[in-house]
Structure 1
Amino acid sequence: MGEDATGAGVFLELRKRLQSGLLVLWRDVAKSYAEVRVTGGDSSLRIRTPGGLLIVELPAGVSLVEGSCREAPERGDEMHFRMRLNVDQHTDDTGALGSVMERLQVQESYCFHCQSCGTRVLEERVFKRVLPLPNGNWSSLVDDWCCHPDPFANLKLLPRAKDCLLGDTHLLVPRDRGCEETLTQELSPITNKMADGQNQDTQKPNRRRTLVSCKSCTAGLGEAVAPGTLKLYITEVTVRPSGGDSQFDTSLDRSLFLEQTIAARLVELSSSQSMFRFSIQAPDGKAFILLWLLNSDSLIASFSANPSSTVRGDAVTSPSHRQCSEHQSPTKAGSAVKVLYLPCSPSASTHQDVVDTWEKDIGVHPLDLPLTTCQELLSVLTASTSCLPPSLHSMNSYQVAYMRM
């Protein structure tokens, strides 16, 4: 990942809980601190540079403390500024809508669509019960803290008719008659090779899974965990209330949907279970990404400078999103979570000792996703890292990324 290929010319992070902010500018945007002036406006932050005026729209209740912007030590070709904020105590920390796990309710009608193509894959559902499943390291916790073994260790918890069971990243729902027309099933291939770096003690037994795919576009949606039960990943399907405008929005960007869905789940799990470290795993149980949630109160904005020093708005998580015109339309500061991450594949990770430590730590929460989705998520994270100032790319052994909410 090249540090000068897609990095922003101006990067801004505001922390609502800390009531502070960091502004980073490249030397091609301004040559000295004296050429930069930061002031507050009506629900905005104004950054004056030799290339023009940059305006960042702020959420209601967030404003700059006038005169608080101070120079910070330089880092290479970057100029850093620190500032203080006024934040209304009633301001929402995240502004996020939450994941489908938080929105599902009993006695409400829902439609299930394939996220890739928008095809309705299940009939309308009205659930009488919406219940959470034991998750994460539940079995290990029972073994460590209880006098008796877990009586449900070898049993599957399956939904009854009109039930919806909630996992960390999936839903368990009963099949319906329409599934024959909308879904296809096939057995996963048999794999007998041991994972690189695993020994016989840690390797999980191989099993063939019944994969469930969309009949229209062949996108994988989940598994058939029992003859009458579907396991659908929340990253592969969209669940919306029935009624109103039933037209599915096919223009929704896949990367943004994945980014927001995972970010919402990280925030929900950290709030409800005080979990901050996560192991993103493929269905076979192999760790793919180690993810550490640092904070969920960030507001971020970034701009990139072209060779003529004209500055335009740009997204901090992807070089291809949210570009403003050269007339400098205001750019809205977006809510994001800040994470540290490490890829776990032997070819990508040079910190195997960290990976081994996380795998043995009961405080690390496993999140299983389809293998292709794990790969997509890693691409999203690396794209975010490439858009950050070089001095912010890493922290200790980890890479730094922001995920939009």
Structure 2
Amino acid sequence: MTAYYIEVLDSLKLVDIYVECARSASKSGSSDIQLVGTTELRISSGSVISLPVTVSPRAAARSSFEDSDSGPDANSWIRIRVPIALDCMKARLEQASQLITSIEKPITASAIQGLSDIACQSCSSSLLANTTGAADRDTLRIRDLPSAFWSELVDCWVCHPEKDTVNVNADLLHAFEPKVAVTTDSTQDSTRKPEPSTETKLSVDMWVGDTYVLATEDLFKDLPKTPVHMDTKVLSIVVYVAYANMNTYSVASLIGRFYSSYTELCCDSCSNVVGEVGRMGSREMAKLCLSRVQFVLPSPSRSAISVSLSQAVSREILSHVGAHAVYRFVIEGRKACQPVALINIVGWNAEIRARAMSSTQPDNLPDISGRYIKILFTQKDSSTFDTQASQWLDDNATELISLLDADADSLLRILAENAQLLPPPLRGMANMTRSFLRM
């Protein structure tokens, strides 16, 4: 199958097209590869694909180049740059969301309100506790977690607990909770713990974030739990680096925020990890990975809403880009507590269509089409990775994203596979690898 890569460059009002062809065809100026009308591209004698936008074919510019690193038998690439039709460009500017603040989350609280079940994305088995009846599921109180934009406002305007003038962290949110009502009645037993006031009762059952869902632990109390012990040597280094960058903390309070172990939450049917459980303030909470669960809507549709790992990570990245103007990210494994990839954002909302080269991917791999984040990345096997990772972590303009170790490995695999969809000369830039993630 013929490989191709098509990207809509709205800022340049162009469509950039690359099509793989035999080296002899590129030298002879073969007419097999050409635009057909204003909406189609012929990539071989019997294959025509639709373009993402309407173009002006008369103004198209055509060129060719060879991949010098792949040997004399390698194929060449035809490049066609063609302007977007004026009417189509106007419509795209009116309809397409160019601002990060206008890009919707893959899953919101309103989309799953009234859900009938939460299931494992791998085997579709129910994850909710048996005691959670149908009536209880219909009345679950679901809200969206405050976004990174809200966190930015909190950092600027709210008096922080523990003299934290840098960040408000999830494990410190309990400091903002209403205090337990204390009775002054002398007839009450002074040794008995006071009952919580109505203000302290949890008014929400689930909070939906960008990469995870927070929920009351009782909803998933029947699921198996597995203790996981982290590398204490690595953890001590992480604490030291954090202390160096957040010197407003006392050493004791800082170390108390890092734990040497955590508890994974697993699917009872397939044993896949779906999240973790732990204490947040005075509450036992479950933290479910969005890319590992699905939300089943009630009858008659019984449809399931889920997101891929790529979509979840992309949304987390876009939140930080929009709120903090941060474009560099360190991806780490949850258990290993070590960086596995460095990601630099170079663009978002890019409309891309592509098919892999048959020599690098199986023939049954589907074509890709959609909107993506464009990135540069470096992974662990790079010779300069450790040095570069240390430099990035020391920089306040870098965000850290922690994933399950298996998800971190899967993310690297996705980035590597997507990089293969690019024409060979375009795969590298600034000693990093170019790739993209689905939004």
Q: TM-score range by the shorter chain?
A: 0.7 to 0.9
Higher relative contact order (CA 8 A, sep 6+): 1
Equivalent-residue separation in structure 2 for 1:200 and 1:234 (angstroms): 27
Deviation (angstroms), 1:354:
2.8
1:39 maps to 2:31: no
Indicate which of 231, 240, 262 corresponds to 1:191. Answer: 231
Kindly provide the CA deviation profile for residues 315-359 of structure 1, in whole angstroms up to 9, marking residues without a partner as x: 9xx874226xxxxxxxx843322221111x3x4453444322221
Secondary structure in 1 aligned to 2:420?
helix
222, 232, 240: which one pairs with 1:201?
A: 240
Give the Å deviation of 1:161: 4.5
Range 222-231 or range 74-83, more displaced? 74-83
Give me the whole-angstrom Cα distance separating, in 2, the residues matched to 1:108 and 1:223: 23
* Residue of structure 1 aligned with 2:298, choices 232, 238, 242: 242
Residues 213 and 219 of structure 1 are in contact (CA less than 8 Å); yes or no, is this contact kept in structure 2? Answer: yes
Using the TM superposition, give the Cα deviation of residue 192 of structure 1 relative to its aligned residue in structure 2, in angstroms: 3.0
TM-score of the pair, normalised by structure 1: 0.74
**How far off is 1:231 after superposition?**
0.9
TM-fit CA distance, 1:146:
8.2
Cross-structure match for 1:78: 77
Task: Give 1:327's aligned residue.
Answer: none
Question: Which residue of 101, 109, 115 corresponds with 2:114?
Answer: 109
CA distance in 2, matches of 1:305, 1:382: 14
CA–CA distance in structure 1, aligned partners of residues 28 and 11 of structure 2: 27
Q: CA deviation at 1:238?
A: 1.9
For the pair 1:230 / 2:286, whether they are aligned, the reply is yes
Q: Do the aligned partners of residues 200 and 16 (structure 1) sit closer, same or farther apart at CA in structure 2, a change above 3 Å counting?
A: closer
Q: Decide whether the 8 Å contact of 1:169 with 1:368 is kept in 2.
A: no
**Are the equivalent residues in 2 in contact too, given 1:99–1:265 (CA < 8 A)?**
no
Deviates more, 1:260-269 or 1:285-294: 260-269
Q: Give the drift of 1:26.
A: 3.3
**What are the Cα deviations for residues 383-403 of structure 1, in whole angstroms up to 9, with x where unaligned?**
111232111111112111122
Indicate conservation of the 8 Å contact 1:294/1:340, yes or no.
yes
Shift of 1:233: 1.3
Matched, 1:22 2:16: yes
For residues 301 and 184 of structure 1, the distance between their equivalents in structure 2, rounded to whole angstroms, comes to: 42
Helix, strand or coil at the partner of 1:194: helix
The equivalent of 2:197 in structure 1 is none
Equivalent position of 2:164 in the other structure: 150
* Amino acid paired to 1:232: L
Q: CA RMSD in A?
A: 4.0
- For 1:45 and 1:333, the matched residues in 2 are separated by 15
Query: For the residues of structure 2 that align with 1:107 and 1:200, how far apart are their CA atoms?
Result: 37
In structure 2, relative to structure 1, the CA distance for the partners of 1:55 and 1:237 (3 Å cut) is same
* Distance in structure 2 (CA, Å) of the matches to 1:27 and 1:38: 12
Cα distance in 2 for residues equivalent to 1:46 and 1:106: 37
TM-superposed CA distance for 1:271, in Å, is 4.1
Q: 2:96 aligns with which of 85, 92, 96?
A: 92
Matched, 1:321 2:365: yes
Where structure 1 has 5 or more consecutive residues not aligned to the other structure, the ranges are: 1-6, 308-313, 324-331
- By how many angstroms is 1:201 displaced? 2.9
| Change beyond 3 A, Cα 1:387–1:304 | closer
Between the aligned partners of 1:357 and 1:168, the Cα distance in structure 2 is 27
CA contact (8 A) 2:357 2:421 kept: no
- Among candidates 388, 393, 402, match of residue 354 of structure 1: 388
Q: 1:132 aligns with which of 132, 145, 150?
A: 145
> 1:225-280: CA deviations, max 9, x gaps?
2263101111211234434322659xx9xxx8222333344345434554433222
Per residue, is there more strand in 1 or in 2? 1
Q: Does 1:400 align with 2:434?
A: yes
Residue number among 7, 18, 21 corresponding to 1:13 in the alignment: 7
Which amino acid counterpart does residue 95 of structure 2 have in structure 1? T
CA distance in 2, matches of 1:120, 1:41: 51
Q: 1:64 to 1:26 in 2, by over 3 A?
A: same
Q: What is the CA-CA distance between 1:16 and the residue it aligns to?
A: 3.1
Paired residue secondary structure (1:228): strand
One-letter identity of the residue aligned with 2:4: V
Question: Separation in 2 of the partners of 1:125 and 1:33?
Answer: 66
CA contact (8 A) 2:297 2:303 kept: no
- Distance in 2, matches of 1:131 and 1:160, equals 15
Q: Report the number of matched residues.
A: 365
Q: Does 1:277 align with 2:273?
A: no
In 1: Cα distance, 2:2 partner to 2:321 partner: 30
Instruction: Indicate how the Cα distance of structure 1 residues 199 and 219 shifts in structure 2: closer, same or farther if over 3 A, else same.
Output: closer
Please give the per-residue CA displacement for 1:293-324, whole angstroms capped at 9, x wherever unaligned.
Answer: 322232323346769xxxxxx99xx874226x
Structure 1 partner of 2:57? 66
- Structure showing the higher helix proportion among its residues: 2
| Cα distance between partner residues in 2 of 1:97 and 1:200 | 35
Which residue does the alignment assign to 2:49? 56
Aligned partner of residue 223 in structure 1, secondary structure: strand
User: For 1:15 and 1:169, how far apart are their aligned partners in 2?
Assistant: 28
The alpha-carbon distance between structure 1 residues 321 and 16, as it changes in their structure 2 partners (threshold 3 A), is farther
From the superposition, tell whether residues 190 and 349 of structure 1 become closer, same or farther in structure 2 (CA, over 3 Å). same
Which SS does the other structure have where 2:35 is aligned? strand
What amino acid does structure 2 have at the position aligned with 1:334? G
**Identity over the aligned pairs, expressed in percent?**
16
Output the CA distance in 1 between the equivalents of 2:7 and 2:374.
10
Deviation of the 1:14 alpha carbon = 1.9
Residue of structure 2 in register with 1:335 after alignment: 371
Decide which structure has the larger Cα Rg and report it: 2
**2:229 alignment partner, SS class:** coil
Do the aligned partners of 1:170 and 1:232 also contact (CA within 8 Å) in 2? yes
